[in-house]
Structure 1
Amino acid sequence: MSYTNSSSMNFGSGNVRRTFEFGRTHVVRPKGQHQATIVWLHGLGDNGSSWSQILETLPLPNIKWICPTAPTRPLSTYGGFSSTAWFDAVEISEDAADDWEGLDASAAHIATLLSTEPRNVKLGIGGFSMGAATALHSATCYALGQYGNGNAYPIDLSAVVALSGWLPCSRTLKHRIEGSRDGIRRASSFPLFLCHGRGDDVVAYEYGEKSARTLSSAGFRNLSFRSYNGLGHYTVPEETDEVCSWLTANLGLGGFRLN
């Protein structure tokens, strides 16, 4: 496991600028042939280290995992108290204001991490909870070819995995993609894998299911949604096994083996 230095990014317009200081990034090197690189995003209040330890145990020897740590920032959901978070979330609801600036900053940070990977390696993003929401935002940026602020999205993504998450900025997604011929084309074939526990008491199952429906209606036809009876806001071997199988199939990986 290796580490990279923290980085900062400035986003904003006019006289208002916000600086996002990202934490330490943990890297799990492939044990076999390097065929894919996936940036994996932790949930609210977590860090890259905890997920790097989980990912290192998966039977996917040909994937390099990059596990960054989100900036520490004041959160509306915590009454202004600070926590590691990819963006500010007032609440998980279509009626809540979306933090486009924070989402774009995190998506840009992820794109920067992927930008130096070899050209022959497939690129993906995955995440849990708020990390899953950020991964889905990156998927919509890829389909549209631009971030929410209109700047060009530079990465050729091959797949996105979202566990126990939700789709931010969902209210305008269908309209934005329908207004882009390239967006319709990219969305229609892009592989998405969403998983959610029916017993989730943090990000309610209905939000995960509704996010899948919204993405599908917006044109993401190559989408799989899996639900798990009794599963709360955590992951279990059945879920990670299905993630491994899905990634192997959709990224054309070799070397997959279940223990």
Structure 2
Amino acid sequence: MREKRAPDRPLRWVFRGLFGLVFVYAFNLWWTPPLGWDVWRASNVPGDTIEILGIGRHSATVIFIHGLAGNAAQVVPVVARLRQRLWQVSFLLPSATFLPLTAKGAVDTLAWFDIDNVQLTPDDPLPELEDEEGMEKVITRIHGLIDGEMAKGIEQERIVLVGFSQGCASALLSAISSEAKIAGVACMSGWLPLSYKIKKVGTHVRHPLQTDHAHHMPVFWGHGELDDVVHLRWAEESIAHLADLGFENIDYNIYPYLKHDMGKEEKQDLEDWLAKLLPPT
């Protein structure tokens, strides 16, 4: 009678383990977050700020502010592209904290300030009531980042604020109210908050947060023609207000067929604008 041999189970599990390792390795090759897993994990921490160093020596800083319901991970892919050309630029990416958003029935949402309505029509004008207290908090935070870079020895004229959507609104308010004469502000798919408080002061029209030197600051503005979140009308009204406020250097770009997003053409225009503003030294 022939003796039966037990199946070689240990060897089978060795092969399964090797297959699993190969699968994980192949998956990581197929999808690795821009700038790696460490940056991805750090960029998903609410309320934190991550720094992505430039390839060359640090002579300039871009502070990039994400949009509503996002975090710093939202803009990491754009930063990964920009740093390939802007060698001397380091990037600061702050993440918002959770707050009960009125527009979502007080559900905790990653946001820079409260918003009472996100269901807008293309004909709705700029809002006439906004979360001024929340805006003051984000302005204070961004001004703190600017001060921190200047404390490192970065010249004020080598600092730029960039923002998308609600991050654009936050960046723009922080830029026009900054005592530092920063190099410029880039606004994508956003709006100018507190426009209902713009008044004539003497012979000039002034935003309530506007410093005396803000109107000299270059502004890049990009907006999708088909934006269904922050409609194009808000961009047009914001640009008109900036012109009334005396802003002299506005690069305004409308992108056909683009919705509430940053398209390839807009990213290239932003990159070109930043390269001119922050040349190597």
More strand per residue = 1
Q: Does 1:201 align with 2:228?
A: yes
Structure 1 partner of 2:136:
104
CA contact (8 A) 2:51 2:91 kept: yes
Q: CA deviation at 1:119?
A: 2.9
Aligned twin of 2:74 = 50
Letter in 1 for 2:190: G
- The 1:250/1:175 distance shift into structure 2, 3 A limit, reads farther
Q: Is residue 89 of structure 1 aligned with residue 115 of structure 2?
A: yes
**In the alignment, does 2:93 pair up with 1:67?**
yes
State the 1:81 CA deviation. 1.1
Q: Residues 121-140 of structure 1: matches in 2 within 5 Å? A: 121=155, 122-140=158-176
Cα distance 1:174–1:158, how it changes in 2: closer, same or farther (>3 A)? farther
Q: SS at 1:102's partner residue? A: helix
Matching residue within 153, 158, 164 for 1:119: 153
Distance 1:233 1:179 in 2: 29
Identity of aligned residues (%): 30
Query: Within 1, Cα distance between the matches of 2:220 and 2:256?
Result: 17
Matching residue within 141, 166, 189 for 2:216: 189
Deviation at 1:67, TM superposition (A): 0.7
Report how far residue 211 of structure 1 moved. Answer: 0.7
Residue 95 and residue 52 in structure 1: after superposition, are their counterparts in 2 closer, same or farther (change >3 A)? closer
Measured in 1, the distance between the counterparts of 2:268 and 2:127 equals: 35
In structure 2, the partner of 1:25 is 49
SS in 1 for 2:135: helix
Q: Is the 8 A contact 2:177 2:211 kept in 1?
A: no
Deviations 1:156-204 (A, max 9, x none): 3221001000111012235367469xx5751331111111000111110
Residue in 2 that maps onto 1:163: 188
Separation of aligned partners in 1, 2:146 and 2:87: 19
Counterpart for residue 246 of structure 2: 219
Asked if 2 retains the 8 angstrom alpha-carbon contact of 1:27 and 1:52, the reply is no
Q: Which is greater in Rg? A: 2
Shift of 1:61: 1.7
| Counterpart residue number, 2:18 | none
Structure 1 CA distance for aligned equivalents of residues 197 and 128 of structure 2 = 13
Give me the TM-score of the superposition, normalised by structure 2. Answer: 0.73
CA root-mean-square deviation: 2.5
Q: 1:101 to 1:245 in 2, by over 3 A?
A: same
Q: Where do 5+ consecutive residues of structure 1 fail to align?
A: 7-21, 146-154
Partners of 2:59 and 2:260 in 1: CA distance: 30
Instruction: Figure out how many residues of one structure are paired with residues of the other and give that number.
Output: 226
TM-score, normalised relative to structure 1: 0.79
1:37 match:
61
- Structure richer in helix, relative to its length: 2
Correspondence for 1:231 among 258, 264, 267 = 258
**1:233 partner amino acid:** H
- Distance (Å, rounded) in 1 between the aligned partners of 2:272 and 2:86: 9
Kindly provide the amino acid, as one letter, of the partner of residue 83 in structure 1: T
- The separation in 2 between residues aligned to 1:100 and 1:158, in whole angstroms, is 25
Q: Which amino acid aligns with 1:101?
A: E
CA offset at residue 135 of structure 1?
Answer: 0.8
CA contact (8 A) 2:181 2:214 kept: no
Amino acid at match of 2:69: G
